[in-house]
Amino acid sequence: MALVGSYVGLSKALVAVFPVFLLAGLRFGIAAVAMAGWLRRPADETPLDRADKGWLFLGSFLGNFGFSICMLLGVQATSALSAGVVMALIPAAVALLSALWLHERVSPRILLAIVCAGAGIALLAWARGGEGGGSLLGHLLLLGAVFCEAAYVVVGKRLGTKLGPRRISALINLWGLALMAPLALWQGWGFEWSSVRVQDAALLVFYALAASVVSVWLWMRGLQGYPANKAGVFAVLIPVASAGVGILFLGEHAGLIHLAALGLALLGIVLATRR
């Protein structure tokens, strides 16, 4: 979760170098090479039926294609600190979509968590005229990214009974590459590749591997030795890590409104994950 927060924050530096669609396409391409060995179906795994393939496509369309566009455009128009606060809504969004798609119950605490996260986002939108506030559209895009990522988690929960976590990740990433490739090629055609510095390329590789490979493996591996119903509390590290990257490495300023929004975001996570 700390890794997720860090690459959300560092993507602010990447969108200053690469066009958004090209950046997303490069991420999926690098990750596809890294996860090529994860695509093979194990002998004990049942073949996917038509419904499973539909859920797999939906997970990629929302969780990879939609999330990348909304997150990158959103962080381009706001700040790493703002992105971290908005991303704190993910646990509550997962609970809400689980209720709608998987018919799981939504408790009053989850609704209160959504209210807290919404209040934090409203504070950021109100501060958009100040330093590091960003635009209202940028925050709405980040909110869209939250629900795209929540959809990815819910689809993963549904497919997890048939597929292993590594194969789910590899297949969804491959769909993401197919969906993003036309837009990436369009932006890459006239891109000045000579302007990319070595440190930009290194950050790109880190972003691709962290977002699509390493964070997924760490999360799934950690769940093997920790109760899944308590693991959501670690999402608290998303806004903390993203805000830390913005303040320590990108020179962003954290005012009282930003700190209040971060506090509401953390409270929302506690409410969404506490048992």
Quick one: tokens of 43?
């002998």
Per-residue pLDDT of 168-186, as tens digits, reads 888 888 999 999 999 999 9
Give the chain's mean pLDDT: 82
Q: What is the mean pLDDT of residues 190-209?
A: 93
Per-residue pLDDT of 41-90, as tens digits, reads 888 888 888 888 888 898 889 888 898 899 889 888 887 777 777 877 77
Q: What is the pLDDT of residue 24?
A: 94
Q: What is the pLDDT of residue 35?
A: 92
Per-residue pLDDT of 248-264, as tens digits, reads 888 877 778 778 877 88
Per-residue pLDDT of 208-245, as tens digits, reads 999 888 887 787 677 666 655 456 667 667 777 887 88
Question: Is 130 a residue whose pLDDT tops 70?
Answer: no
Question: Is 100 a residue whose pLDDT tops 60?
Answer: yes
215 dihedral zone (left: phi>0; alpha: psi -120 to 50; beta) = alpha
Per-residue pLDDT of 138-148, as tens digits, reads 888 988 998 88
Give the chain as a 3 state SS string. Answer: CHHHHHHHHHHHHHCCCCCHHHHHHHHHHHHHHHCHHHCCCCCCCCCCCHHHHHHHHHHHHHHHHHHHHHHHHHHHHCCHHHHHHHHCCHHHHHHHHHHHHCCCCCCHHHHHHHHHHHHHHHHHHHHHHCCCCCCHHHHHHHHHHHHHHHHHHHHHHHHCCCCCHHHHHHHHHHHHHHHHHHHHHHHHHCCCHHHCCHHHHHHHHHHHHHHHHHHHHHHHHHHCCCCHHHHHHHHHHHHHHHHHHHHHCCCCCCCHHHHHHHHHHHHHHHHHHCC
- Dihedral of the alpha carbons of 127, 129, 134, 138, in degrees to the nearest 10: 90
Rounded Cα distance, 67 and 221, in Å: 23
- pTM of structure: 0.78
